[in-house]
Amino acid sequence: MPATTTGTVRVRFFAAARAAAGTDEEVLALPAAPAPRAEVERLLAERHPDGQPPLAEVLARSSFLLDGVACPDPGAPVPAGAVLDVLPPFSGG
């Protein structure tokens, strides 16, 4: 089993996620890397509890890209140095 290390992940927020987080991008410190995507979501929700709507609500209905590849599994490992895109449902046509 590989050693666990700390690191950071770059998170990019789009549309409603950007509004809830109050920023379009941030660097998030991971207590251990790789971290499951669900843990990254938990850390983000703790950092941004006061958005309208709260970021936790937006994350619950969002899709994610990990280094440009769809990441539907909340248990997927997010390695240090990765880019995680948060894509809430978009409307329009």
Is-contact 49 93, C-beta < 8 A? no
CA torsion angle 68 65 28 33 (round to 10) = -80
Tell me whether the omega of the peptide bond preceding residue 34 falls within 30 degrees of 0, making it cis: yes
Q: What digits encode the pLDDT tens for the residues 52-71?
A: 899 999 999 999 999 999 99
The SS3 call for residue 83 is strand
Return the pLDDT at 92: 58
Q: What digits encode the pLDDT tens for the residues 8-18?
A: 999 999 999 99
